[in-house]
Amino acid sequence: MLSDYRIPAEPYYRPVGDEVALFTAACAARLPMILKGPTGCGKTRFLEHMAWRLGRPLVTVACHEDMGAADLVGRWLLEPAGTVWRDGPLTRAVRHGAICYLDEVVEARQDTLVAIHPLTDSRRMLPLERTGEVVPAHPDFLLVVSYNPGYQALQKDLKESTRQRFGALAFTYPEPSAEAEIVAREAGLDEVMAMRLVRVGTAARALVAEGLAEGASTRMLVHAGRLIAGGVGFAPACALAVTTPLTDDPVLLDALAAAVAAQAA
């Protein structure tokens, strides 16, 4: 039923601590999990790796402000044969034992968060109000949500009544040598060039204290690395994939350009 959601090959992930062992233990205990950390630091890749490692299908839902409970649990649809119920992604995962990943969960409407509460305590069941059915969670079902606390703190956040239902792993950007290894592996670069990109990323993150909304993510550095591996020069690749997307502020752009120039020399 969920064969399309199985990950066929091992996604590359470089552990930076004991997160693999801790997530494995949480999964065995059927503990719903929060993955929190800045944009592009590896949360989704980590979960893809863990789904592959644990042999579980992974159903991913990108949350947004217009998403309500019906988008997760399902709805009645009018089809040629009549009105039929179609399970949503969360219900499919609950029935068949997948990991359901709600990415950037705080972007969803509040009724979405209320709908997941019965799955995050000892009941482990999903009431479908529109059909009257109560779906017990498959033993292999696991609910995982993610968000960026540094960004959402200014806008939205998880309520304490929701947060305390979960275990949590905090992610951040890897230390430079580990990040260079990741960028080299993902972009197809040598580690010397990858370290130059990491230094640009480190300089960008330091500018958060000066007004930059978010620092350069590992994902952005990988994008720049792939451009370089494809023949684009260091400075243009950084401008296209890192500095220009980060801000429109001319003062910050100048500071970012100076960081790139220091590594391009």
Tell me the average pLDDT across 86-93.
Answer: 96
What pLDDT is stored for residue 7 in this prediction?
96
Higher pLDDT, 150 or 55: 55
H/E run at residue 125: strand 125-128
Report residue 27's pLDDT band, with 50, 70 and 90 as the boundaries. Answer: very high
What is the CA 184 to chain-centroid distance, rounded?
A: 21
Beta bridge partners of 102: 61, 145
Tell me the average pLDDT across 36-61.
Answer: 96
Tell me the per-residue pLDDT of 56-84, one tens digit each, with 9 for 90 and over: 999 999 998 888 888 999 999 988 888 99
Please provide the average confidence, as pLDDT, over all residues in the chain: 93
What pLDDT is stored for residue 79 in this prediction?
85
What pLDDT is stored for residue 74 in this prediction?
94
What pLDDT is stored for residue 265 in this prediction?
72
- DSSP letter for 241, please: I
Both structure tokens of 14: 């470089």
Tell me the average pLDDT across 85-99.
Answer: 96
pLDDT of 250 strictly over 70? yes
Tell me the per-residue pLDDT of 195-228, one tens digit each, with 9 for 90 and over: 999 999 999 999 998 999 889 999 999 999 999 9
Whether the predicted model's global pTM rises above the 0.95 cut: no
* Contacts with 151 (C-beta within 8 Å, 6 or more apart), sequence order: 38, 39, 213, 214
What pLDDT is stored for residue 151 in this prediction?
58
What pLDDT is stored for residue 152 in this prediction?
47
What pLDDT is stored for residue 155 in this prediction?
53
What pLDDT is stored for residue 3 in this prediction?
85
* Contacts with 31 (C-beta within 8 Å, 6 or more apart), sequence order: 166, 167
Tell me the average pLDDT across 137-150.
Answer: 93
Distance CA 94, CA 74 (A): 12
Both structure tokens of 133: 């059915």
What pLDDT is stored for residue 184 in this prediction?
98
Tell me the average pLDDT across 233-240.
Answer: 98
